Structure 1
Amino acid sequence: MSLTNAEETLMQILWKKERAFMKDIIEAYPEPKPATTTIATLLKRMQDKDFVDYIQYGRSREYFPLVAKRDYFSKHVNGLIKNFFNNSATQFASFFTEETNLSKKELEALKKIINDQIKTK
């Protein structure tokens, strides 16, 4: 299951904060801040999708992510490779390196990452 753009924005806040009360979440948004009811609706939908949960403290809820950021994006990158690049990581890498205007320094860093991965295989 995936998140809408609004839910993903909220997850980014929760991943960064790790745990947050409603006031902390709203405070993390840029102006204009969303309404409390909007955030409450998003949190409920995300809870139904098993992305977040909360601990109740009196009348306040402290929300926290149930899905790690790395796991979420790993699933999406793999889906992207499968759906848009014929399940070819090579096609994806070619597109990524050509279309993102990477500097020579960034390409060298990628090359090092790839070479390090080759050594561990």
Structure 2
Amino acid sequence: MKINHLTSAEENLMKLFWKLESFYLKDIMEQHPEPKPHQNTVSTYLKILVEKGYLSTEKEGRIFKYTAIVPLEEYRKFLLRELSHNFFDNSGREILNLLLHENLISQETLKEFNPSAETKPLKVKEEFEYANEILNPKKDKKKGKEKEKDKEKKKKKKKEKE
């Protein structure tokens, strides 16, 4: 089953749909917290989510019954894989390091998952190099000199061609 990305609005509605599992449009309107969206807006999102393969429909008379067909757990796995791939070079270790560094998980909690493993304090990178370069664009002298040499070489090549 291929899972597609959801917008934040679609994700918010899917959270409600996962709780309801099977529902009608009127159920959504009753369950949706204030401020409630317009019924046509919800209908449009339902149509989109059916097209994306998150919901299935079953016609009952003049109305449709919707069922969530992508389980919440599968979507969570998809998001975690995407996060790992896009921001952590597919490294669970880097994710764990960040979770520990940001105090989102403790060493004690980590021990619960693998009690036999020795837990050494993990060395956490204090800075991400790429982010540091963007946030602090100060150039190293060597890099600056190397860039100047490259520019000079390009100028020489242009002159030789002329």
TM-score of the pair, normalised by structure 1: 0.84
The size of the alignment, in residue pairs, is: 113
Following the alignment from structure 2 to structure 1, what is the Cα–Cα distance between the partners of residues 100 and 105?
Answer: 10
The percent of aligned pairs where both chains have the same amino acid is 37
Following the alignment from structure 2 to structure 1, what is the Cα–Cα distance between the partners of residues 104 and 83?
Answer: 20
Of the candidates 4, 27, 47, which is equivalent to residue 24 of structure 1? 27
Deviation at 1:69, TM superposition (A): 0.8
Deviations, residues 60-103 of structure 1 (Å, cap 9, x unaligned): 2111111111111101101101110111101011112222x347
Residue aligning to 1:111: 111
Following the alignment from structure 1 to structure 2, what is the Cα–Cα distance between the partners of residues 37 and 9?
Answer: 17
Residue aligning to 1:53: 56
Residue aligning to 1:83: 86
Residue aligning to 1:5: 8
Structure 2: gaps (5+ residues): 118-162
TM-score of the pair, normalised by structure 2: 0.64
Q: CA RMSD in A?
A: 1.8
Following the alignment from structure 2 to structure 1, what is the Cα–Cα distance between the partners of residues 77 and 38?
Answer: 31
Deviations, residues 23-74 of structure 1 (Å, cap 9, x unaligned): 1112222111011100100011111111111111112211111111111110
Q: Which of these two proteins has the greater Rg computed from alpha carbons?
A: 2
Structure 1: gaps (5+ residues): none
CA contact (8 A) 2:57 2:65 kept: yes
CA contact (8 A) 2:99 2:105 kept: no
Structure 1 segments, 4+ long, off by >2 Å, are 101-104, 107-111
- Is 1:44 aligned with 2:69? no
Following the alignment from structure 1 to structure 2, what is the Cα–Cα distance between the partners of residues 55 and 19?
Answer: 10
Tell which has more relative contact order, 1 or 2 (C-alpha 8 A, sep 6+): 1
Following the alignment from structure 1 to structure 2, what is the Cα–Cα distance between the partners of residues 67 and 13?
Answer: 13
Following the alignment from structure 2 to structure 1, what is the Cα–Cα distance between the partners of residues 86 and 43?
Answer: 33
CA contact (8 A) 2:57 2:64 kept: yes
Would you tell me which structure has more helix in proportion to its own residues? Answer: 1
**Partner AA of 1:63 in structure 2:** Y
